[in-house]
Each structure stands twice: as C-alpha cells, then as structure tokens.
C-alpha cells in the first residue's frame, strides 16, 4: 500500500452511495459524497502550500466538512493537528508555534482573534464554520473531486495530538498511520462493528475518542454515523431509536439517566454502549444496567496510545474495571521506582506496548526517553491493578492530571493562573469526584498575609486565560496547604477532605 491509512479506511468507499453521515438538519451525506468533498479540500490544502509532512492545526466546530479536512489531510500526507474548540488564543499560539503548523484553520468567528497568532508564527489562516462555509470551502468549491493519493509509509506521522505534560507544558504525541489503523482494526473486531451499524456520535472530533476511535472504526466497518454537533439531551433521546451503537463519556450517561424518557423500550434495539475518556462510576454503570438492560462497555485509552484495554463484548462487563488488554497490546503493572513488574493483585504503574503506542513526543526527545522504554513499553502515569480474573482497574494517577468531562487538565497551568492574581500567596488544584463530569477542578487559594482575596474576581480573571473546561468549578480559601515533611503539597489530603464537595464522594 502506498498510503495504508487512506487506502484502508477511505478508498474502499469510492462510488458507494451508502449513508455515511446523518446530519442535524436532516441531510444525509453518502460515503462517496464525503470522499469527493475530501478530495476537493485536499486540492485546496495543496494549493495553500501544504506539502506531505506539513502540519495543519484545526480549531473548528464539528461538521461534515471538518471531518472531511481530516480525510483530506490523510490523503494528501498532511499531519492533522486537531485543537480543542475551548482553547484561548494564548493557548493556540503555543500549539501553532511548537508544531510549526503551516496552516491554522479556525471558525470564522475567531478569525480576528487568531489572525495575530497565525501571523506571529508564519502560518496561513483559513476559516471553516459550523455550517460548512468559510474560506477553505470557498477555495475548494470548484476543484476536482478526485485527488491522487500521496504515498505514505505505515510509520509516517498521520496526526499530532497535544496532551498534558508533567511540567505543565503540553506535549505533542506523534501518531503514525499504523498506530491509528491497527487500533481501528482491533476495535472493529472486538466490538463487532459491521456496515449495518449506525453510531450515535455526539463526541467532539478534536479528541482521539470522537475522531480516531469512533470515526475510524465506522469508516473501517463501513457503517453510518448520526453526526450531532454536541451532546444535546433532547437530540440524544430523539436519535437513539435510529442508532445501533453509542460511544460516550460518563457525562453522557449521567445526563441520560436524569431523564425519565430513557427506558428499556427506547434502547431495546441498541446492541452496544461504550464509555471512556474518564472514569465511569460503578453506581452509574449499575443504574444504567437496571434502567435499560444494557451493561456499558468501559475501556481504557490515552492520547498516546488510543485504546489499550476493553471489557469483553461477550462476557462479564465489570463495573469499576476497564477489562482486559486488547489483542496485540502487552500490559504490565510495575513498581514506579524500579520499573520491575509487581505481583498480580498489587498496585503499580500501568505500562503498555503494542502497534497502537505512539512514536514519541514532538521535539521532546528527553521526554520521549523518560516515558517510552527502549523495549517499547510506554509508562502511562496511571496506577492500576490486575485482579485474579485478569481484569484491569485504574486506581489513580501518579501524575496530577485531572480528567473532567473527558478532557485532560494539568493542575500546574491552572495554579500559575491563580497564583498571578492579587492577594494570592499560593494555590493548589486537584480533581474531586463529580457526578456529571467524572472529576471537577477545585482550586485551593492561600491568601497573602493580611489580604482577603475576592474569589469571584479571581474566577473572572482566570476565565480570560484558561479554556472553560480548565477553569475551577469551585475556589476554596484556606489558611495553608497540607504538606509532608519534605514540604511537598499533599494533594491526596485535599482530595480526601473535599471529595464530597459535589456530592459524588
């Protein structure tokens, strides 16, 4: 194959008039029409000066056209860099500068705010709006509907996804064609996807869950997607009878359970519900099963690896666990200090190895060497345990990353924003259980001597520099932070003391 990812996921659909995307206003886009749209965009990106291996950074609303940009990048050999739509211009500036992106694609509503960002890093600014309009669509409208696929090797980069770093600096995870393709193949097989499936898709497509897990699986299986812009409870309830499967985050399930319209009859025809990106509370798992008769299939993945483990399709889907290692994935539990494998049943560091594991961190060879062993095992930073039946459970994270609503948040970045506010001596940020988000960000603020910080003013101030999903859900004024004998802040003490703040602890 000259371009394994494109030729396996996309090319087989040429000429197929089968349904691919069911869109919000009732339109249906066929597989073939989607490929023709992607080809036009590939021509437009090439005309914009993008060559194979160049990076395209995209902060755009979810749409059929936005998904076609991903397909166009794969076909043209361009490295796709999706960015959270909640990121601020300051945050976008780092990603564009660090990646060396040649093009920044944004929502037209952000064009004025992001033009200085693009100009500062020498990137071309293009627009793509939620309705599919914008300068990229204009440029591609009359271009050819076929594109000669650019040759790429299995080990060539297909995507660059930024994830939280241990120092607060985001790291670009380099994902190859084979990383993405191998994972899609395994998931189609393990989760029994076929061309008869219709996936209810309400996930964002700037995240590996919605983009690479959901979309790649459906492309490989040849099925269709009900492509919703975002999670909307009424839309979810209305569309569930049209679907056969749904991929979600815990928040989706807690919100569905809050609605009396979620009944066994509503989902009687569904064959699979999966959950990931954040821990699913055992209570949610059991309540959903009792209400609907379906046991949610929970799995475990990361930006750097896509999916690593899954509860079984056939067999016991155990609440509080993430199942077994996927075929082709080696998983071990090691002592965090020595790296030596621990005995079964003991808690330790989760390490994984397989074709799904990323190539390393962009322009960070030292960080790559720290987290990716020479023997191919990736040190995930998650603490876990394997029980006597082989089920993997995640018990915590050695890094302080907070996962809220499926998004990774590194506390140091939030703490720096809090520390810069008037009257603040220092701060600590932790994640505490939240019934809707999985975890919620809580900031603990220590005042300077004699100062009385205005918590509402602080919250308003940090909202200008942090994406909404990173902003603390609650600020708590404390006299001092708990520390150990070495002076290190004991965030576990804060989590324990305030674990019931949102009624989920």
Looking at the domain assignment, is residue 331 inside a domain? no
User: Of 132, 152, 172, which marks where a domain is finished?
Assistant: 152
Q: What is the predicted pLDDT for the residue at 251?
A: 84
Q: What is the predicted pLDDT for the residue at 167?
A: 45
CATH number for 449: 3.30.300.30
Q: Are strands 378-386 and 348-353 parallel, antiparallel or unpaired?
A: antiparallel
- The Cα–Cα gap between 161 and 342 comes to 31
Q: Are strands 424-434 and 438-447 parallel, antiparallel or unpaired?
A: antiparallel
Residue 50's domain comprises: 24-152
C-alpha triplet 329, 333, 339: angle, nearest 5° = 110
Looking at the domain assignment, is residue 242 inside a domain? no
Q: What is the predicted pLDDT for the residue at 411?
A: 81
**Which pair of tokens denotes residue 330?**
């080696």
Which alpha helices (DSSP H) does 337-445 contain, by range? 365-371, 411-419
Q: What is the predicted pLDDT for the residue at 504?
A: 60
User: Of 90, 121, 152, which marks where a domain is finished?
Assistant: 152
Strand locations in 416-486, DSSP E? Answer: 424-434, 438-447, 474-477
Decide if 41 contacts 147 (C-beta within 8 A). no
Q: What is the predicted pLDDT for the residue at 264?
A: 97
Looking at the domain assignment, is residue 330 inside a domain? no
Decide if 217 contacts 187 (C-beta within 8 A). yes
Q: What is the predicted pLDDT for the residue at 426?
A: 86
CATH number for 107: 3.40.50.980
Looking at the domain assignment, is residue 449 inside a domain? yes
Q: What is the predicted pLDDT for the residue at 192?
A: 98
Looking at the domain assignment, is residue 172 inside a domain? no
User: Of 117, 135, 152, which marks where a domain is finished?
Assistant: 152
Looking at the domain assignment, is residue 423 inside a domain? yes
Q: Which residues of the chain have pLDDT under 70?
A: 1, 164-168, 396-397, 399, 484-488, 504-505
Looking at the domain assignment, is residue 362 inside a domain? no
Decide if 346 contacts 324 (C-beta within 8 A). no
Return the SS3 of 365. Answer: helix
Looking at the domain assignment, is residue 279 inside a domain? no
Q: What is the predicted pLDDT for the residue at 168?
A: 58
**Which pair of tokens denotes residue 224?**
């269709």
Q: What is the predicted pLDDT for the residue at 247?
A: 97
H or E stretch covering 331:
strand 330-334
- The Cα–Cα gap between 373 and 10 comes to 33
Q: What is the predicted pLDDT for the residue at 1?
A: 65
- The Cα–Cα gap between 8 and 263 comes to 38
In total, how many domains does the chain have? Answer: 2
389: region left, alpha or beta (phi > 0 left; psi from -120 to 50 alpha): alpha
């Amino acid at each position: 194959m000259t371009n394994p990812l494109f030729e396996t996921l996309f090319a087989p659909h040429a000429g197929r008039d089968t349904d691919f995307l069911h869109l919000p206003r009732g339109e249906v886009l066929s597989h073939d029409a989607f490929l023709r749209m992607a080809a036009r965009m590939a021509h437009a990106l090439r005309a914009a000066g993008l060559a194979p291996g160049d990076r395209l950074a995209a902060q755009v609303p979810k749409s059929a056209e936005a998904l076609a940009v991903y397909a166009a990048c794969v076909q043209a050999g361009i490295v796709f860099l999706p960015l959270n739509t909640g990121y601020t211009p300051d945050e976008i500036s780092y990603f564009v500068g660090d990646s060396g992106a040649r093009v920044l694609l944004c929502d037209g509503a952000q064009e004025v705010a992001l033009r200085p960002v693009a100009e500062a890093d020498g990137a071309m600014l293009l627009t793509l709006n939620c309705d599919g309009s914008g300068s990229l669509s204009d440029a591609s409208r009359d271009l050819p509907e076929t594109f000669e696929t650019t040759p790429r090797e299995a080990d060539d980069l297909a995507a660059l996804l930024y994830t939280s770093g241990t120092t607060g600096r985001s790291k670009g995870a380099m994902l190859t064609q084979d990383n993405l393709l191998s994972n899609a193949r395994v998931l189609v097989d393990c989760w029994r996807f076929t061309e008869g499936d219709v996936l209810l898709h309400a996930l964002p497509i700037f995240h590996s869950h919605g983009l690479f897990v959901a979309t790649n699986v459906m492309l490989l299986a040849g099925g269709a997607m009900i492509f919703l812009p975002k999670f909307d409870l009424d839309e979810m309830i209305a569309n569930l009878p049209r679907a056969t499967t749904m991929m979600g985050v815990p928040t989706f399930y807690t919100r569905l359970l809050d609605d009396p319209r979620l009944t066994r009859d509503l989902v009687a025809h569904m064959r699979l519900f999966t959950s990931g990106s954040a821990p699913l509370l055992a209570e949610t798992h059991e309540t959903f099963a009792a209400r609907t008769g379906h046991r949610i299939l929970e799995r475990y993945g990361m930006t750097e690896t896509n999916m690593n483990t899954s509860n079984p399709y056939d067999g016991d889907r155990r609440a509080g666990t993430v199942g077994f290692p996927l075929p082709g994935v080696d998983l071990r539990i090691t002592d965090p200090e020595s790296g030596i494998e621990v005995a079964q049943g003991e808690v330790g560091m989760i390490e994984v190895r397989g074709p799904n594991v990323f190539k390393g961190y962009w322009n960070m060879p030292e960080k790559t060497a720290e987290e990716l062993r020479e023997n191919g095992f990736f040190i995930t930073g998650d603490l876990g345990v394997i029980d006597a039946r082989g089920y993997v459970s995640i018990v915590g994270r050695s890094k302080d990353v907070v996962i809220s609503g499926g998004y990774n948040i590194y506390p140091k970045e939030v703490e720096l924003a809090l520390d810069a506010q008037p009257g603040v001596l220092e701060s600590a940020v932790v994640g505490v259980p939240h019934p809707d988000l999985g975890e919620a960000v809580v900031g603990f603020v220590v005042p300077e001597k004699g100062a009385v910080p205005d918590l509402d003013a602080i919250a308003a101030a940090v909202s200008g520099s942090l994406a909404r999903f990173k902003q603390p859900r609650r600020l708590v004024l404390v006299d001092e932070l708990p520390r150990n004998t070495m002076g290190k802040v004991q965030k576990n003490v804060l989590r324990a003391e305030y674990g019931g703040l949102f009624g989920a602890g």
